[in-house]
Structure 1
Amino acid sequence: MKILTNFIARLQISLGVLLLVIFLAATLIQVVTRYLGISVLWTEEIAVNSFIWAMFLGTAVMVKENKHFGFDVLTHYFQGDKRSVLVIIQNLIMLIFCLFCSLYSVEITQAFWNSRWISIPEFRQGYVWLIMPITFISSSVYLVDNIYNEAKTLSCFKGASWNSR
């Protein structure tokens, strides 16, 4: 599972960096063309949508790395198995949230799939919304992996045969 999650994370980071470069290029084109008095409408939509995709991809990777937004006040007060159980419960709550968001984001993507962009009518809005199911499904995979890794640290599972995998 670790090989799969690492591959997905590297892919998401690489795609996120590429999309940030596209965002910066579109923004630069927009600034230059406005300075020159030329109207280039598509740059705004490209910039916004590439930025959205980059941020969502980065969010999923932050879930993998346990560097996401969270309330870890209690985590600092506990040690050992109590801390691990608390982390597992927190990850289970986030997993349930991500699974519901996965389901609803697929519905949203399907609902907006045939909508068209304003400045580039040849493009469909569905591609923009597709990042949501990708993010929530990959975050769910990362959370399952995090729960598994945290469960391996519990003393009741130390020495178990599945611990050595």
Structure 2
Amino acid sequence: MKAFLNSLEWVLMRAAAVFFVGFVVCIFLQLLSRYVPGITILWAAEIATYAFIWTVFLGAAVMVRHQEHFKIDYLYEKLAGLPLLLTKLVSHVLIGAFGAAMVVYGSKLTHLFWEWTVNTLPELQQGYLWLVLPVSGFAMLAFAIGNTVEDIGAHSLKKESDAA
């Protein structure tokens, strides 16, 4: 499972980097379009928006993998042993449920908006924007499951080493 999660993270990070580069390039093209006479690029704003959204959602999924998502550090620092494990497990279940909801409802939204097009670029379907929801939701769910397994394993090992 760890190899799968490592591969998934690797793919997500590379994809996020590609989308981020696309975002920066489109912003640069927008600047050229505004300040250089004779250059008109209408679609750059739409592509920049899509790329930014994909970058953020893919990055959020990777943050779940590293458990750097929203959490109350104060609580994590004060707890130890079984109470800390239970707190982490509740967090993983909530994040996993959120990821599952993103997969289910994101798939419905993707299907609903698949045929809609962007005004400035009619060749681009809006479904590609909404596709980020099930993709990142699946990754969040997978990472939450992986974090759960890892935390339970670490707690069991610590318990065994304390007993020895």
- Tell me the TM-score normalised to structure 2 length: 0.91
Consecutive unaligned residues of structure 1, counting only runs of 5 or more, are 160-165
Paired-residue identity, %: 28
Amino acid at match of 1:90: S
Q: Which amino acid aligns with 2:17?
A: V
Shift of 1:101: 2.3
One-letter amino acid of the structure 1 residue matched with residue 33 of structure 2: T
The aligned amino acid for 1:76 is: E
1:130 equivalent in structure 2: 131
Select the structure that is richer in strand. Answer: 2
CA deviation digits over 1:128-150, x for unaligned, max 9? Answer: 11011000011000000000011
The Cα of 1:158 is off from its aligned counterpart by 5.5
Corresponding residue number in structure 1 for 2:116: 115
Give the match for residue 20 of structure 2.
20
Q: Which residue does the alignment assign to 2:97?
A: 96
1:19-49 deviation digits (Å, cap 9, x = unpaired): 1111111111110121013321111011111
Q: Which amino acid aligns with 1:147?
A: T
Separation in 2 of the partners of 1:34 and 1:93?
A: 45
The one-letter amino acid of 1:6's match is N
Aligned residue type for 2:9: A
Quote the Cα distance in structure 2 between the aligned partners of 1:48 and 1:156. Answer: 46
Structure 1 residue 94 displacement after superposition: 1.6
The answer for unaligned runs of 5 or more in structure 2 is none
Which region of structure 1 is more displaced relative to structure 2, 77-86 or 122-131?
A: 77-86
- The structural deviation recorded for 1:155 is 3.9
Moved more, 73-82 or 43-52: 73-82
Cα RMSD (Å): 1.6
Residue pair 2:16, 2:59 contacting (<8 A) in 1 also: yes
Equivalent residues in 2 for 1:40-119, closer than 5 Å: 40-119=41-120
1:147 maps to: 148
Contact 2:95 2:140 in 1 (8 A): no
Structure 1 residue aligned with 2:4: 4
Query: 143-152 or 29-38, which moves further after superposition?
Result: 29-38
For 2:83 and 2:41, how far apart are their aligned partners in 1? 57
Secondary structure of the structure 2 residue equivalent to 1:94: helix
The alignment of Structure 1 onto Structure 2 pairs a total of residues equal to 159
Q: How far 1:95 moved relative to its partner?
A: 1.2
Distance 2:102 2:72 in 1: 20
Contact 2:19 2:52 in 1 (8 A): yes
* Range with greater deviation from structure 2 (76-85 or 21-30): 76-85
